[in-house]
Amino acid sequence: MVPPGEANIRSYTMGAVGWPVATHDGEATILHADLDAFYASVEQLLDPTLRGRAIAVGGSVVLAASYEARATGVRAGMAGWRARQLCPGIRFVGGHFEEYQRHGDRVMDVLRDFTPWVERVSIDEAFLDVAGAIHLFGDPSEIATAVRRRVRREIGLPLSVGVARTKHLAKIASQVAKPDGQVTVRPLDERAFLDPLPVELMWGVGPSTQRRLAAAGIRTIGDLAAAPGASLERLLGRAVGSHLSQLAVNVDPRRIEAPRRAASVGAQAALGQREASPELVRVTLAYLADRVTGRLRGAGRAGRTVTVRVRFGDLRSVTRSVTVPVAVGTTLTVTELAADLARDALADHPEQRHVTLLAVSVSNLVEQGELQMELPLELDEERHRSGSPQGAACWSVDRSLDAVRARFGRSSIDYAAVRFSGAARVPDAFRELAERDPS
């Protein structure tokens, strides 16, 4: 491994070193800090026998892979059998999900020692604006070095940092710096740094956009910057086209932001290839609705729109959604709405015999006081006549179940109808980690 902090520091400087920075606006004070192969690195930290070895977190699917494993082509999201094929010596570890959260939080605490302007974007990644910290800790490159040294010494994890004038540039710089390095892009060297890089390093360029750009002969960020904005908008649509052409010429107005509340809450379950029986669909949706509404209730929220996604045997998927006049948040109501939507989706595709995934999400969220409860009878008189319990009763039953689970664990109690027999491909602890607000 690279010694802490000292090695692997690069600076993209074309002319004389230390040219004065053009304007205050133009200073490179944004840092993007990104932990390397995060889950795998934590495992290697916890178990020294794993260090230097090809390891993956997961089992049937790779959730994260160490750099040693990545060298053989193993990637996150890959099926476990495929990873073993590519890397016969790979060692799979179950995953200490609580430890990931704890280590991620500790790293963020270190970052906040340098500046309060920290925008955490995920468990293992954050932007910083260090403009106000220079007089305390030195120039931004020195701050990057100090941050990496502290994270390495105090926590034991490798961290890569990009330093630049904008978030977009800093993010690209940290990707270029990996693993365990840092890259500073001086304002005068931005073009020289970006032009040769492949377009897919840009924020917002995924497989689809990359294909379309390649078809138009655009492969590098330099190609993109040279292309007329109007032609990009024709090629990619107005929003994506103008966004990319701005980023390519280094216009990125994004600032470091405070965390926002989530706009939607969802859950999904991959099922393998299963026959789309009404029982399977019902039981799975009930499980998902229960997860989603439990989180909503915990946050004191409820939502007016319920969306269901059904992915079929051929991996194509459809979504159906409905917006109701009163925000809903009980397990039973969301289950009912989701079941109706799934029934419609399946009825629209009678040729599809199998489902491979079901998802439920609730959006159009509102704050929900404990006293303010949904009234399902207003939503659907048919259901009311059929004898469904009233909203208040649903809500209080759900809150009781939530309380039991908080004390004894989530599997301690369930609606009888909610027992989820579907293939749980991923541990509950991983779901809970992914759920967490990064703030």
Partner DNA sequence: TCTGGGGTCCTAGGACCC
Q: Where in the sequence numbering do the catalytic residues fall?
A: 125
Least distance from DNA to the Cβ atom of residue 239, Å: 3
Instruction: Please give the distance of CA 344 from its chain centroid, rounded to a whole number.
Output: 30
Residue number with CB closer to DNA (27 or 374): 374
Least distance from DNA to the Cβ atom of residue 328, Å: 13
Amino acid at 437: D
Instruction: Please give the distance of CA 274 from its chain centroid, rounded to a whole number.
Output: 27
- SS3 label, residue 354: strand
- SS3 label, residue 56: strand
Residue number with CB closer to DNA (6 or 437): 437
Are residues 235 and 216 in contact, defined by beta-carbon separation less than 8 angstroms?
yes
Least distance from DNA to the Cβ atom of residue 148, Å: 18
Least distance from DNA to the Cβ atom of residue 230, Å: 14
Q: Could you tell me which of 24, 31, 5, 28 has the C-alpha nearest to residue 118? A: 31
Residue number with CB closer to DNA (37 or 133): 37
Least distance from DNA to the Cβ atom of residue 410, Å: 12
Binding residues for DNA, rule: CB under 7 A, are: 61, 63, 76-79, 81, 121-125, 171, 202-210, 237-240, 262-270, 272-273, 291, 295, 304-305, 315, 317-323, 356-357, 359, 361, 363-364, 424-426, 430-431, 434-435
Compute the C-alpha angle 127/129/132, nearest 5°.
Answer: 155
Residue number with CB closer to DNA (115 or 284): 284
Long-range contacts of 18-23 (CB under 8 A, 24+ apart): 19/186, 19/188, 21/186, 21/187, 22/187, 22/188
Query: What is the edge-to-edge ordering of all strands in the sheet holding 91-93?
Result: 62-65, 55-58, 91-93
Residue number with CB closer to DNA (207 or 217): 207
Residue number with CB closer to DNA (165 or 167): 167
Q: What is the distance between the alpha carbons of residues 149 and 141, in angstroms, rounded to a whole number? A: 12
Amino acid at 392: A
Q: What is the distance between the alpha carbons of residues 431 and 263, in angstroms, rounded to a whole number? A: 18
Least distance from DNA to the Cβ atom of residue 412, Å: 19
Residue 315, φ and ψ in degrees, nearest 5: 70, 5
Helices (H) and strands (E) counted in the chain, each on its own, are 18, 13
